[in-house]
Chains A and B, each alone.
Chain A
Amino acid sequence: MTETEGQLIGRSPPTGQGVPASVADYEVQQVLGHGDSGRVYLACPPNRLERAEQFVAVKQFNGPCLDSAYDRAVEELRAVSALRSPYLPRVFEAGLAGGSFFYSMDHIVLGSLAAPGRRLSQTEVLLAVSHAASAAHALHEAGIAHAAIKPQNVLIGTRCALLSDIGLGRYLRPGLTLTGAATPGAVEYVDPSVLRGASPSRSSEVWALAATLHRAVAGVGIYGELSDDEPLAAIRKMMSTKPTVAPHLPPDIAAILQACLDPADQRIFTAAELAHRLTELARAREGISGG
Chain B
Amino acid sequence: MPAFDQMTVTVRPGSDVVARMPGVLLVTRPAETEEGDRALRVVLDLLATSAQGGIRAPGYRLGRALRTLIEHGAAPADLALVAATDDGLAVVLAGAGAIAVSERGWRLACVSGRVQVREIDWPPAPLLLDLARPAAESGQGTPEPRPARPFDLREGVVPGNGAILASPPSPTATPELGAGLPPSAPRETVDMLLASPTPPSRCDQILGVDPLGGPRPALPLPVTGQDCAESGSGTRVRGYRCRDAHLNDPRALFCAICGIRMAESTGVFVEGPRPPLGLLVFDNGASFSLDDNYLLGREPDIDERVRTGRLRPLVLFDTSGVISRRHAEIRLEDWDVLLVDCGSANGTLVAERGATVWSALVPGQPVRMLPSMQVRIGERSFVFESLHGAP
Please give the residue numbers on chain A whose beta carbons come within 8 Å of chain B beta carbons, in ascending order.
2, 4-22, 24-29, 36, 44, 46-48, 63, 66, 70, 74-79, 81-82, 90-97, 99, 102-103, 140-145, 174-182, 186-187, 193, 195-199, 201-204, 228, 231-232, 234-236, 264-265, 269-270
Contact = CB atoms under 8 A, between A and B. Distances in A.
A88 to B, nearest CB: 11
Contacts of B276: 196-197
A231 B285 contact: yes
Interface residues of B, number: 88
Contacts of A12: 317
Contacts of B227: 193, 198-199, 201
A32 to B, nearest CB: 15
A16 B122 CA distance: 13
B288 A22 contact: no
A81 B206 contact: yes
A9 B222 contact: no
Given A11-B318, A90-B207, A182-B284, A202 B292 contact: no
A174 B216 CA distance: 21
A79 B299 CA distance: 32
Contact of B207 (A7, A63, A92, A145): A92
Contacts of A142: 215-216, 218
B200 A96 contact: yes
B81 interface: no
B329 interface: no
A25 B206 contact: no
Q: Which 5 A-B pairs have the closest CB atoms?
A: A197-B276, A16-B189, A143-B216, A181-B285, A95-B203
Contacts of A66: 301
Contacts of A24: 197-200, 203
Interface string B201-241: 11111111111110111111111110110111000000000
6 contacts: A18-B186, A20-B193, A75-B212, A145-B219, A174-B292, A196-B257
Contacts of A27: 111-112, 114, 116, 197
Contacts of A48: 199
Interface stretch (B128-136, B150-158, B307-315, B356-364): B307-315
A7 B279 CA distance: 14
Contacts of A70: 202
A15 B186 CA distance: 9
Interface in B299-354: 299-302, 306, 312-319
A200 to B, nearest CB: 9
A22 B203 contact: no
Given A7-B312, A197-B279, 19 more contacts: A10-B317, A20-B195, A24-B198, A27-B116, A70-B202, A81-B208, A175-B288, A176-B287, A182-B285, A195-B279, A195-B287, A196-B228, A196-B256, A196-B276, A197-B290, A199-B227, A228-B285, A231-B284, A265-B222
Contact of A47 (B112, B207, B318): B112
Nearest to A199: B231
Contacts of A6: 300-301, 313-315
Contact of B288 (A7, A19, A26): A7
B284 A36 contact: yes
B221 A78 contact: no
A117 to B, nearest CB: 19
Max count, chain B CB within 10 A of own CB: residue among A4, A186, A270? A4
Interface in B90-142: 108, 111-112, 114, 116, 118-121
A145 B192 CA distance: 35
B200 A265 contact: no
A92 B285 contact: no
Contact of A140 (B197, B211, B218, B279): B218
B287 A46 contact: no
B287 A177 contact: yes
B309 to A, nearest CB: 9
A230 B314 CA distance: 21
Contacts of B120: 18
A9 B300 CA distance: 12
A140 B218 CA distance: 6
Given A22-B195, A265-B222, A198 B231 contact: yes
Contacts of A102: 200
Given A21-B197, A143-B218, A178-B287, A10 B207 contact: no
Contact of A81 (B112, B200, B209, B257): B209
B93 to A, nearest CB: 10
B372 to A, nearest CB: 9
